[in-house]
Amino acid sequence: MNVNSFLLCKTPDAWLNLVPQNLPTLLIDHANCEKKAASTALNLMYRHVDQTEMILQLSKLAREELRHFEQVVAILKDRNITYAQISSSRYAGELRKKVRTFEPARLIDVLIVSAIVEARSCERFGRLVDVLDSELWAFYESLLKSEARHFTVYLKLATKMSQGTSIDDRVELFLQEDERLITSIDTEFRFHSGVPAHPG
């Protein structure tokens, strides 16, 4: 499935236009996102040890996310950008607010949210190639396939865990939330932030 046809909206040009002047923030936040993505996969592995097929897929996924984290940190080092702690965007936290609290519904929702986060990341990587220098353009292009694969892995796992019950309504709910967050005003520029309050 193509992430651009899956998502309800594309990254606004207003966000993309701010990338060149906010490159250190983008790279630092991207590193944090990769680290959190690995953590999400590991947490699911700890919580659902009985799901052998799922934890094997998530183990591979977590390793790939950590490899991406290492690559971004290396880029930061090469560019003399200090890897510092910065606040997270509201994006993932807001998406997770609609996750149900009982099992197996919670697991299904977390998998759907993870799929949408991966899809949005992949879509942003595709847009970023238009505004980055050649080194970063090549790097983000190299991430496209793995992020698209991660999106597919999570969506297929959510479908499997639903045991034949349609997840379409839950997917649509979280896609609408993604669209709201990506197209509404954000006061801080981050990798998953929405439309900047001050376009510059």
- What is the domain partition of the chain in residue ranges? 12-186
Question: DSSP assignment of 22-56, as one string?
Answer: GHHHHHHHHHHHHHHHHHHHHHHHHH-TT-HHHHH
Element (H, E) at 196: strand 195-196
Q: Tell me the angle at which helices 105-128 and 23-47 cross, rounded to the nearest 10 degrees.
A: 160
Give 49-78 pLDDT, tens digit per residue. Answer: 999 999 999 999 999 999 999 999 999 999
pLDDT confidence of 105, banded at 50, 70, 90?
A: very high
Give 153-190 pLDDT, tens digit per residue. Answer: 999 999 999 999 999 999 999 999 999 999 999 999 99
- Pairwise CA distance, residues 42 & 136, whole Å: 28
Torsion of CA 93, 128, 197, 113, to 10 degrees: -20
Domain 12-186, what architecture?
Up-down Bundle (1.20)
Q: What is the pLDDT of residue 199?
A: 59
Phi, psi of 155 (to 5 degrees): -70, -40
pLDDT confidence of 89, banded at 50, 70, 90?
A: very high
Q: What is the pLDDT of residue 1?
A: 75
Residue pair 181/9 in contact by the 8 Å Cβ criterion: no
